[in-house]
Structure formats: structure tokens, C-alpha cells
């Protein structure tokens, strides 16, 4: 296994990593994976219930892993999935063994190092029966690497009674294109929690992660916090397909446009008895430029379902600002407090270090605003 | 002008007409237009403020009318608009003159008489400055005419301070395809109210009427009641583009699937200061087959907007049935009462005769159910 590369000790790079929730302090993580362009440069686990390695290595080690490839995501889905099906693909294999309950997060970083590189990633994540796994996947680019492409396939398998929390933090630069393609297959009583945070400029992010809730009483929760800065084009949706009896899903997003274009999609599909889903999109316009477009879909293909949706897009209400100003806040403080309240999504399973990171990002947005 | 054709006196045809809100009693309408396939067979007004004639006749009479053609709807929008741009197109021209307030509805019927006919219709409706106009457009097919196509272009012009209420009732048969293409241009303080009712079998209805709220304080309200019976494929959306300062829009739909596939779309676009829009979709699944898909879109391209949405799809809650049964209702009565409550949309500007018609249709659905 390659040792941590010295470059990652530099202050500048550390900051990039921290901004996507990756901290190099061993005492607060259960495992680490770092990929730079196509090379896995670090992969180690500090907890015996968790296995972490590069997908290349894992495919050599486990014959059965082949059966998980392109099982949740379709290889023929689009040009990007086809491009990811290449011999130089790398990525991470993360597995929580049967019954293992892993408190500290596994931290996985996909790092775009070379200007103009097309990073192709294929990740397989398995939470075995009765396990609990918490992953932070931070994707970022090297300071100064302005152009490039990130294509990331992630396939999640949440077995019976398992719980998998996956938090993806993106911190790119303004000329980078990002196309994750993710899907999860969730078995009986399994829980899949997916969080997404984007606060920095990016040329384009386009993704539509899907949870296939095939098991009885299976559950998915998708939460997204997206700030669209000037010049950014962000098209993000979450989809839950409720195939299992009594399965349930929740999709929540908070989007802020500071000049960027954001499309917040959502799709709940009810295919089985007693399923329940709720979709909520809220958008805040903070700039004269930019757009927020909410496109939520509810689809009932079975009578005994309960699907609901609510959405609202607007600007900060002047009354709210006046209310706070009457209580001694300055106009800027009042605005900042309202934005902070708007973004205060109760993200499930998110560690403190990440909460602090989100807070920092919010502060930056506030500063730009004022 | 041809006199009323004897065929329309038959009991069977009268029933078809009544089912789309057309009544032949002169005392309760302000004007009448009837088109059979491509022929205008009746066009008369009983009120001097309202002009009603076939579009062919109107184009001969008024040179300026040419300027209204394909102004709200784009000729090149799709294959159906292109097909409607044909020499044999007919339809109605309805105009409320400046300041005319017309209480009784203008009744316009588009009647598909010949098996396999492709009925092509182009309507122009103008509510001049300060006028009030109420139109019921009933579209239906002759008893036994099971196959055919209806393509209807309708262009609405709501001038300054005018109010136009347009109610479209569809009653087709199971092998008929229907593709209306409608749009309205609304000026300062103008109000456009569009109601849509579909309760009978149909092979396919596909439409997405659009209101361009270009005037200051202009307003649009779209209401739809759709029952999708077995074998029917109904894809209906309403769109409001809020271009005028302080313009507002409301889109409300109630859909019931009794085995059919219903897509209920909606799109609110906020492009100007102080605009406000609300979108509400509710769906009720009453069959093991069938689907309801709600696809509402909110789009903010300007900061100072207020757009919201809510949607829910489900079946009748057992608790509600039990509650009513505990109060002495039979199970069937309780179910019927809940369905009736669900469909009880306060449709604006709808005359009593139509309310009675909707009630009759609801009763039919109830009977099928029980």
C-alpha cells in the first residue's frame, strides 16, 4: 500500500481536503482512501470490521466482486457510464462486514490532480447484513487545476438490517465538469442515507442518484445543500423507487442561487403496498442573475401508496429582515441569520467536523452577499 | 349560416352535447358555435357585445385577424401545430367587444362526426379592453365514432382590464386521440381563467396550455379535474410564464386513476419582480392498475419571486371511511362522499348547468367503483 504522499502535508492541499470533510487525524476516522487522478495513493483501515482498498485490488482479491459491477447502475445508461467502463478505471471498494458497527467515518477522497484530466472512478460499497457504515466521500481538485472532468460510478449495496450513511462533499473549480452516476440497492429493513453538499464554483454538476428500495421496510433519505455561484450549472436530482412493501423515502433539498443555475429534481416512484414518500425542495434566490428550477416528480403505480411533495422558491422576505432588525440585528446580521436558518437541514449521520465545514461554507456565502 | 342540423335534435346527440356542457336552450347562453368535423354548422350570437363566427368567415371579414394567427402558439411547435396549419382548418372566432360584460356563456362545440377523421381546429378568442367573457368549449365525438383525431389550436388574447373564463369539457371515446395546443397572452390587469374537465374514456389526451402573463398585475388560474379510465393515457399540464410585474398564477389539479395513466404537469416561471405563483396537484388511486404521475416545475429566473408547490398522491384513507361509517354511512356511501369531496374544486366562473354535469360524471365514477 503506498504511504501518504508528502504533497498532502502541504497547508494548501490540507485545506482542500478539509473543505470536503477529509481530515488526516487518524483518531477520528475508521479508514482512509485517497485516489489522485487514476492512482490509489492511500488505502488503510483502522477498524477490523471495515475493509477499504482500491477497486483494482479488490477485483484481484475477490472473484465474487465482479457480480456487483454494473448491478445497480446500468453500464449503457449514457455516454459517461460507457466512458467509465474503461481499463484504467479506479475507485474504492468499501465493505462493512456482517454485524460490524463502525462509529467513525470512512473517509474517501477522489482528487483531481492534473489539469485537463478525465478522472474515471468506479466505487463499490457494501454494507453487509446488520452492519452500520458511515462514509464521507470528498471530491476535490488540486489548487490551480481549473479544467477537467470527474466521472464517478458508485454502486451501493445495503443488505438486510444494515445502515449506510454516505455523505458526498464537492469542492471544485470553475471549469470542471462533474458527472456522478450512483445507485443503491437496499434489502429488507435496510437504510440508505445520502447527503450531498456543494458550495464552491463548478462549471457543471449533473447527477441523479437512485435508491432501489427492494426490501420490505427499507428506507432511503436524500438530503442536499447546494449553493450555485455565478457561472455554475448544477443539475441534481434524487430518485427513490419504492418496490418493497412498506418501504419509505424522503428527499429534501435546500438550494441557493448566487448567480448560478440550479435544477433541483426529485422522483418518488410507488410500486408496492403501504409505501410512503415525501419530497421537499426549497430554493432561495440571492442574486439578480441565476435561476432555480425545481422539478419534482411523484409517480404512483400502485393504489396503496402515500406520496407527497412541497416546494417553494423565493427571496428572503423583507418582513423577516425587519423583524430581526427590530430586535437589534443589523441588516447584514439579519440576512445572515436567515440564510443560516434556511440551510440548517438536519443532515442525518453527519459528523461534527463536517457540520463545522458546512458552517464555514455558509459564512463564506454570507460574506459574498454582504 | 346553416340552420341547426336536424341530427342535433336526436336524444342521443343531445346527451353527448349536454355531457360537454352544451345546452341548446337559447335563454341560457349568449352565443353558440357548432363545428362538425371541418364544417361550421351553427354560429350565432344573442348578445350584441359578443361576436361569434367561424374562423374562415372571420378571416374574410377582418384583415387584421391575420396578425393574431400563430401569435400565442408557435406554428413550428410540433407535428400537430404544423398539421393544423392546413387549408381546410376551421374553428371559431369569438370576440367580446370593448367593455362588454357577457353573463351567459358562449357555447362552442367541436364535434367529431366521421369515423377516422382528423379534425383540425384553429380558434382565436379575443376579450377586448375591459370586457368579460365566459366560454364553454365542449369537444365530443358522435355516438359510435370510436376512432379519430382532434387537433385544436386555441389562441387567447386578454386585453387590458379584461377577464376571460374558458372551460373546456372533453367527452371522447376510447380510440380517439386529442392534442389541443393552447396559449393565452394577457395584458395589464387582465385575468385568464382556464378550466378543464375530462371524465370519459379516451385513447390519448396530450396538452400543455400556456398563459403568458405579460401585463402588470395580470393573472391566470388553471383548474383541472381528470378521471383516467382503464386504457386512457392522459398527459395534461398547465404553464404560466410570469413576465409582468406583480403578475400571479395558480394551477390546481385533481386527478383520479381508475386504471388509466395520468401525467399531471405544471410549470410556473417567474421572470419579473413581485410575481407570485402556486401549483397544487392531488391524485387519488382507485384501481390496482393505472398510474398517476405528478411533474410540477417551479422556475425562478428573477430574485423577487414567490413560487410554491404542493402535491400528494395516495388512496382513500381507511380512517376517513371508518369515521364516516361510524356516523351511519355505508361503506359505499362513505367512499362516494370522500371522492366527491376530493373532486370538489371550486372551479371559478363555472355555470350551474356545468356543475350539475360534473356531479353527474362523478356519480358515474362512483357507480363504477362500487
Q: Per-domain residue ranges for chain A?
A: 1-190, 208-314, 316-370
A99 pLDDT band (50/70/90 cuts)? very high
B7 pLDDT band (50/70/90 cuts)? low
Quick check: B305 and A313 CB within 8 A? Answer: yes
B14 Cα to chain A: minimum distance (Å):
36
Residues facing residue A146 across a β-bridge? none
- Among A301, A319, A321, pick the best mutation site for testing chain B contact (most B Cβ within 10 A): A301
Query: What would the pLDDT profile of A16-43 be if each residue is shown by its tens digit?
Result: 887 787 776 667 778 889 899 999 988 8
The rounded distance, in Å, linking the Cα atoms of B101 and B247 is: 23
Query: What would the pLDDT profile of B312-329 be if each residue is shown by its tens digit?
Result: 999 888 888 898 999 998
- Among B307, B316, B335, B339, pick the best mutation site for testing chain A contact (most A Cβ within 10 A): B307
Contact status, residue B125 vs residue B137, Cβ threshold 8 Å: no
Torsion of CA A207, A208, A211, A212, to 10 degrees: -120
Query: What would the pLDDT profile of A72-81 be if each residue is shown by its tens digit?
Result: 999 999 999 9
Average pLDDT over residues B180-185: 97
Instruction: Give the three cell numbers for residue A106.
Output: 470512512
Q: What is the mean pLDDT of chain B?
A: 89
Instruction: Give the three cell numbers for residue B132.
Output: 368579460
pLDDT of A1 strictly over 90? no
| Interchain contact B308–A (C-beta under 8 A) | yes
Q: pLDDT exceeding 90 applies to what percent of chain B?
A: 59
| Interchain contact B293–A (C-beta under 8 A) | yes
B261 Cα to chain A: minimum distance (Å):
9
Using alpha carbons only, give the angle B230, A270, A190 rounded to the nearest 5 degrees: 155
**Residue among A270, A294, A302 whose CB faces B298 most closely:** A294
B250 pLDDT band (50/70/90 cuts)? very high
B167 Cα to chain A: minimum distance (Å):
27
| Interchain contact B316–A (C-beta under 8 A) | no
Q: Which long-range contacts (CB under 8 A, 24 or more apart) does B2-7 make?
A: B2/B40, B2/B41, B2/B42, B3/B42, B4/B34, B4/B41, B4/B42, B5/B36, B5/B41, B5/B42
Interface of A with B in 228-267 (CB under 8 A): 257
CB atoms under 10 Å from CB of A79, counted, come to 9
Chain B residues inside the 8 Å CB shell of A312: 298, 306-309
Average pLDDT over residues A342-368: 66
Query: What would the pLDDT profile of A333-351 be if each residue is shown by its tens digit?
Result: 888 888 888 887 766 556 6
Q: What is the ipTM of this complex?
A: 0.81
Report pLDDT for B361: 64
Quick check: B308 and A305 CB within 8 A? Answer: no
B307 pLDDT band (50/70/90 cuts)? very high
- Among A307, A317, A320, pick the best mutation site for testing chain B contact (most B Cβ within 10 A): A307
User: Which has more pLDDT, A211 or B369?
Assistant: A211
Query: What would the pLDDT profile of A251-300 be if each residue is shown by its tens digit?
Result: 999 999 989 999 999 999 999 999 999 999 999 998 888 999 999 999 99
Burial A52-67 (b: 16+ CB within 10 A, else e): bbbbbebbeebeebee
B265 Cα to chain A: minimum distance (Å):
9
The rounded distance, in Å, linking the Cα atoms of B359 and B347 is: 13
**Residue among A285, A296, A303 whose CB faces B303 most closely:** A285
pLDDT of B353 strictly over 80? no
| A92-96 and A39-45 beta bridge pairing | unpaired
Q: Where are the beta strands (DSSP E) in chain A?
A: 31-36, 39-45, 50-54, 92-96, 106-112, 118-127, 132-141, 147-158, 163-171, 175-186, 191-198, 204-207, 210-213, 219-229, 233-242, 248-258, 261-270, 275-285, 291-300, 305-314
Half-sphere exposure of B192 (CA within 13 A, CB side): 37
Average pLDDT over residues B15-29: 75
Amino acid at each position: 500500500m503506498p504511504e501518504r504522499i508528502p504533497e498532502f502535508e502541504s497547508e494548501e492541499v490540507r485545506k482542500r481536503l478539509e473543505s470536503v470533510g477529509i481530515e488526516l487525524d487518524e483518531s477520528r476516522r475508521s479508514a482512509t482512501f485517497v485516489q489522485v487522478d487514476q492512482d490509489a495513493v492511500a488505502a488503510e483501515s483502522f477498524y477490523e470490521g471495515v475493509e477499504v482498498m482500491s477497486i483494482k485490488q479488490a477485483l484481484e482479491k475477490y472473484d465474487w466482486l465482479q457480480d456487483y459491477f454494473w448491478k445497480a447502475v446500468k453500464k449503457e445508461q449514457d455516454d459517461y457510464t460507457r466512458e467509465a467502463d474503461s481499463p484504467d478505471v479506479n475507485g474504492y471498494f468499501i465493505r462493512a462486514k456482517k454485524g460490524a458497527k463502525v462509529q467513525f467515518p470512512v473517509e474517501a477522497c477522489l482528487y483531481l490532480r492534473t489539469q485537463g484530466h478525465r478522472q474515471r472512478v468506479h466505487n463499490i460499497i457494501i454494507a453487509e447484513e446488520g452492519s452500520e457504515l458511515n462514509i464521507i466521500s470528498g471530491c476535490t481538485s488540486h489548487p490551480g487545476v481549473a479544467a477537467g472532468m470527474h466521472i464517478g460510478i458508485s454502486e451501493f449495496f445495503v443488505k438486510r438490517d444494515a445502515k449506510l450513511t454516505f455523505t458526498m462533499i464537492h469542492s471544485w473549480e470553475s471549469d470542471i465538469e462533474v458527472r456522478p452516476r450512483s445507485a443503491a440497492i437496499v434489502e429488507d429493513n435496510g437504510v440508505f442515507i445520502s447527503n450531498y453538499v456543494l458550495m464552491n464554483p463548478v462549471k457543471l454538476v449533473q447527477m441523479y442518484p437512485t435508491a432501489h428500495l427492494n426490501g420490505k421496510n427499507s428506507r432511503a433519505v436524500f438530503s442536499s445543500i447546494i449553493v450555485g455561484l455565478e457561472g455554475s450549472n448544477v443539475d441534481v436530482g434524487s430518485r427513490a423507487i419504492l418496490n418493497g412493501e412498506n418501504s419509505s423515502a424522503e428527499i429534501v433539498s435546500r438550494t441557493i442561487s448566487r448567480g448560478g443555475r440550479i435544477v433541483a429534481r426529485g422522483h418518488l416512484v410507488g410500486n408496492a403496498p403501504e409505501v410512503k414518500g415525501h419530497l421537499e425542495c426549497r430554493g432561495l434566490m440571492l442574486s439578480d442573475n441565476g435561476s432555480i428550477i425545481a422539478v419534482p416528480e411523484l409517480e404512483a403505480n400502485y393504489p396503496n401508496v402515500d406520496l407527497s411533495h412541497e416546494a417553494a422558491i423565493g427571496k428572503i422576505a423583507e418582513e423577516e429582515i425587519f423583524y430581526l432588525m427590530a430586535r437589534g440585528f443589523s441588516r447584514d446580521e439579519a440576512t445572515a441569520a436567515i440564510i443560516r436558518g434556511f440551510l440548517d437541514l438536519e443532515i442525518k449521520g453527519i459528523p461534527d467536523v463536517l457540520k463545522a465545514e458546512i458552517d464555514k461554507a455558509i459564512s463564506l456565502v454570507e460574506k459574498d452577499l454582504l
